Structures are given as structure tokens and as C-alpha cells.
Amino acid sequence: MSNPDSLKLSAENFDAIDQIVNKYNSDKGAAIMILQQVQATYGYIGQSMLERISQLTGTPTSELFSIVTFYSQFRLEPLGENFIQVCHGTACHLAGAERISEAVQHVTKAKPGHTSPDGKFTLEHVACLGCCSHGPIMTLNNETFARMTPDKVKKMLHQKVADKGFVNSEGCELSE
């Protein structure tokens, strides 16, 4: 998987960024909306994208980078094929969220906030997934799993790594 910071977009790919920026008539106050639409188009916002937006809007790249790193909605690298969130809210933390994160990292080799070297998994720690009484909570590709244990995590992810799929028997419609 290529490093998104080294991604060099072609002129053809810049067309989408150009259209997004032109939609806002290069209004400096529209930076967040521009960044949101660029991310919706590409799935993340890489360095070359920030540089192009800066060229078109006159907003310094450092200011755009500050926005992207301040708001958790923005990503600086593409998501992996599978997106994992581990809740680290108070209830999940007390129920063992750190052990869940460690198990995810062990199997996937993805560090929190990053994508695994093979591009298969992205791991994100979140403040709350809204299932506090069923923690620790984890999501995999927007499916929610309750009362996770390191063993459940390892079994589920090993199945996913082997591309065997898995059955969601722990969803936050909250079957247990």
C-alpha cells in the first residue's frame, strides 16, 4: 500500500478538487466544506490534495493541515478494506477496551488511527459508540459487536483475515 503523503495526483484527478473549490468561488471561509467534499470524493485528504486546495484558495497549506488534524472527521490516509472502531468511553474503558484494542492490534498490525501495512484494516479509537451498558464495544465495517473479549476479537479477525467472513452474533441490536 502506498504512503498517502507520497501520493501524486494526476491533472485528471485534480479536476475533482478544482470543481469542488470552484463551487465555493475560492471563498476562504469555505475551507471546511471544501475539505469535507474532497474527503467524500477520495476517502481521505493527502498532502498533495492539501497543496492543491491551498493553490486554488490561497489558504496556507499549514492552515488547511491544522483544520484536518483538529477535526476527527478528516483522514490523512486512506481507510483499509476493513474499518474497526474500538470504544474507549468510560464504560467501555472500565470493561476492558484497552485489552480489545491490543487484541485488534496484535491480529491486524494496525496501530490506532492508522491502516495496517497490508491495507486490510484501519483501527480507530472512539469516545463512545452508544452501547455503554454492553461494553466493551467494537465495530467492524459498521457492524457493532457487544461484550467483546480478546478471544472473540482474535477469532473474528482471524476469520476476516482468512477471508472466511464471519457471523455477527454480537450485534448492537444487541444479541449476545
Residues 6+ apart with CB under 8 A from 43: 75, 78, 79
Task: Give the confidence band of 9 by pLDDT, cuts at 50, 70, 90.
Answer: low
Calpha distance 163→132 (Å, rounded):
30
Structural domains of the chain in order of their starting residue, each with its CATH number: 4-70 (1.10.10), 82-161 (3.40.30.10)
Rounded to whole angstroms, the Cα distance separating 157 from 48 reads 33
Tell me the CA end-to-end span of the chain in Å, nearest whole number.
36
Query: What's the pLDDT at 169?
Result: 41
92 is in an annotated binding site: yes
pLDDT, one tens digit per residue, over 101-153 is 999 999 999 999 999 999 999 999 999 999 999 999 999 988 999 999 999 99
Instruction: Find out whether 16 and 39 touch, Cβ atoms under 8 Å.
Output: no
Residues with Cβ within 8 Å of residue 66, at least 6 apart in sequence: none
Q: Confirm whether residue 131 is marked as ligand binding.
A: no
CA atoms of 131 and 172, how far apart (whole Å)? 7
Give the pLDDT score at 98. 98
Residue 122 belongs to what H/E stretch? strand 121-126
Residue 10: its pLDDT value, please? 56
* Predicted local confidence at residue 27, as pLDDT: 66
Residue 128 known to bind ligand: yes
Residue 172 is labelled as binding a ligand: no
Q: Could you tell me which of 126, 124, 106 has the C-alpha nearest to residue 115?
A: 124
What letter does residue 98 receive in the DSSP assignment? H
Which pLDDT belongs to residue 131? 92
73-108 in b/e form (b: 16+ CB < 10 A) is ebbbbbebebebbbbbbebbeebbbeebbebbbebb
Tell me the pTM: 0.69
Please give the pLDDT value at position 176.
Answer: 37
> Tens digit of pLDDT for each residue in 56-94?
999 999 999 999 999 888 989 889 999 999 999 999 999
